[in-house]
Every structure is written in structure tokens, then in C-alpha cells.
Structure 1
């Protein structure tokens, strides 16, 4: 059943991606927040499919920790699920991503309409400058900034190297930071075709004020909270695999 569900999910997701890509292009004349509401309809549809086709449910803890002003969200990166779900679980966000993603047919077209910060990960210094400059502008425009400091998806149970970009932006923009942990990789793991049923837990941590902090110290504080919180999140993949 897991294989069949995963096949059906992939087919339906592909169809939705093509359809929403054309809707995304039609939103070009509209303001950014209008485009955001329309285009993230794809995110909602895919999360809905993940639930009703693959049995992937979710719960969110700590919503009360989200500040009333645009902030920088630094999240664990294990899966494609969080890249799809977080933009609809959080206030409108500009996502920091590798620029190659915008070249993907259909999917990349939609992403390009959401004012992402598309960086060249091969040029660290230029990427850091771009994150700082464009991140400040997105925050001034009323968007939060969503960044996955590990840069690439890591296998559940492992810890990637936390890049400095999000902390650098926070300390230079004076913007609040919100750490986010989750266990999506337990059910929708890195580069895996199979999606297993179960419950994903997203945990939103207390706001961190970067005032007076150096980027390295802030980055370490974010990593410490996320990785500590990861040890408290349930392991659902093993149980759901037996269903």
C-alpha cells in the first residue's frame, strides 16, 4: 500500500504542479501578497494530498511563539515536506534557496513569482552578501525570511553543518529569529520515493533577539535549540512502517 500510495501521490502532485504553474504566471500583474495567496494554493493542495493519499498528518506546537512582525525563520531540513508545508503554516515568507531550483520547469516558475532569495551556493561570499541585502529588503516589504541553515536535506538523526547566512542577516538587520524543528524526515525522507503514513510534529521555538550577538553565537544558539528539540520529537517512521 505504501508503494501504491506513493505512486498515486507522485502522479497527482505532477498534475497539480503543471496546472498551478500557469496560474502562477497569470498572477504576474498582481501585488506580491496576492500572488503569494494564489500560488501557495499548490502547497496546500500537496499537503492535503500527502495526508489523504499517503496518510501523512501533521501537528504544530508553539504557534504562540511567532512574533507579530516579519522575522527570520531558521528551520531543520530533512525532507521536501517542510519546504512545501512551512510557507502555509507560517506568515508569508521569502525562501532562501539555491538558484538552480528556479530553472525546474513549472515548479521553478511558481517559485520565481514569490520573491525568493535565490543564491549561488558555490560562491559563499556573494551568497552571504545577497542574503543580507535582499533579506533586509524582503523584511522591509513585510515578508519574513525562511532559511534552512543546513543548506541541504540531511538524513533523519543526522546534523548538517549550519551555514551562517540566517544569523548574518539577523544580526545585520536586527530582526528576530524563530528556530523550527520537525521530524518530517521520518516519513518523507531525503531523496526517497516512498512516503510512509504517520504524524509529523513541527515545533516552533521561542523567539531569539539577536541584539548584541555575533553571527556565530546566534547561529550556535539556533542550532542548539533545534538539535535539542529534535531529540524530543517522536520517531514515527518505524511504527508506521509496520502498519
Structure 2
């Protein structure tokens, strides 16, 4: 039954994604914020379909901590789930991602319409410069910035290395960091076709200000909050397997 329901979800994905890819091409003349608001409807529709087909929903704790002004989101990354969910929870945003993703047919077109910060990870010095220039440009346009500080998806119950690049960017751009913890990988595991029913928990922390802190101290504070919250919400989903 899980597999069949996941097939139904994927059929919806196959039907809806090309439609929004065409929409993405048509709305390029609009402002970056308005393009993001329109493309976010893809996530809204896919989440509604996800609940209908797979019985997977979510709850948000700490929504009152979302600031009114531009900010940087630093989020635990366990699944493809949060790449859609963050668009529903936070104001219009951009992601820091590999430039190669923009070349994916249909999906990449829609992604390009959101004005992501697309960097070449093979050129580290150039990537850092791109990060700074594009990050400042996106904030000036009223967009938030999303960074997964561990750099990749991490299995539930595990912890990756928190990198300082996002913290340096937050300091240079003088924006607060909003830490986010979630247990999405316990319902939609990494590289898994199947999605299990249940309720993902999303916890949002109070903004962490960069003033008076170096990048190491800043990312350490972000890591301490996220991992502390992960200890409380880990183990609630059907796909969690405790490490021996």
C-alpha cells in the first residue's frame, strides 16, 4: 500500500512539474519576489497531493520566531521534503545550490525562476565570491536565503559537519540566522521512492544575531540549537532506525 500510494504521488509530480516549468518561463519578466510566490504554488499543490495520496502532513512549532525582515534560514537537511516545505513556511526565498541543478529539464527551469544562488563548487574561491555577490543581490530584492549548513542530506539520528560558509555570509551581509530543525527523513528517507504517512515536526528557533561573533562561534551556536532540538524530535517517524 505504501508503494502504491507513493506511485500516485509521483504521477502527480510528473503531471504538475512540466506545467510549472512552462509557467516559470512565462513569468521571467516579473520581479524575483513575485516569481517566487507563483512558483511556490507548485509546492503547495504537491503538499496537498502528498497528504491525499501518502497521508503525510506536518506541524510547525515556533512560527512566532520568524522575523519580519530579511534573514538567512539554516535548516537540518534529511530529505527532499524540506526543499518544498520551507517555501510554505517562510517568506519568498532562494537556495544556495549547485549550478548543475539548473540544467535539469523542467525542474531546473522552475528552479531558475526562483533566482537561486547558483555556484560552481569546483571553483572554491570563485564560489565564495559568487555567494557574497548573489547573496547581497537577493537580500536587496527582498528574498530570504536558505542554507543547509551540513551541505548534504543526513540520515535521521546522525550529524554532519556544520560548515562555516553560511555563517561568514550572514556576518558579511549582517542578517540574522533562523535555525530550523525537522525530522522529515523519518517519513521521506533520503533517496527513497516511498513516503510514509505521519506528521513531520518542524521547529523554528529564535533568530541568532551575527554581531560580535566570529563565524566559528556563530555556526557553533546554530549547530547547538539545531542538534539540541533534533534530540527531542528524533525517533517519531516509521523510518527511524537507531544506530547501535
Q: TM-score, normalised by structure 1?
A: 0.95
**For 1:42-191, what aligned pairs fall within 5 Å after superposition?**
42-191=42-191
What is the deviation of 1:106? 0.3
> Residue in 1 aligned with 2:200?
200
CA contact (8 A) 1:131 1:165 kept: no
What is the deviation of 1:7? 0.8
> Residue in 2 aligned with 1:224?
224
What is the deviation of 1:33? 2.0
Distance in 2 of aligned mates of 1:177 and 1:97: 18
Distance in 1 of aligned mates of 2:18 and 2:5: 20
Distance in 1 of aligned mates of 2:238 and 2:106: 34
CA contact (8 A) 1:35 1:114 kept: yes
Change (3 A) 1:134 1:7: same
What is the deviation of 1:62? 0.6
SS at match of 1:109: helix
Q: TM-score, normalised by structure 2?
A: 0.94
What is the deviation of 1:48? 1.1
> Residue in 1 aligned with 2:235?
235
**Which segment drifts farther, 227-236 or 50-59?**
227-236
Distance in 1 of aligned mates of 2:123 and 2:218: 22
SS at match of 1:190: coil
Distance in 2 of aligned mates of 1:220 and 1:199: 29
What is the deviation of 1:235? 2.5
What is the deviation of 1:237? 2.5
Distance in 2 of aligned mates of 1:192 and 1:12: 17
SS at match of 1:224: helix
Task: Name structure 2 gaps, 5 residues minimum.
Answer: none
SS at match of 1:115: coil
SS at match of 2:54: coil
Q: Deviations over 1:47-97 (max 9, x none)?
A: 111111111110001111111100001000000000011012101111111
SS at match of 2:233: coil
* Number of aligned residue pairs: 240
> Residue in 1 aligned with 2:34?
34
What is the deviation of 1:120? 1.8
Aligned-residue CA RMSD (Å): 1.4
What is the deviation of 1:181? 0.4
What is the deviation of 1:236? 3.1
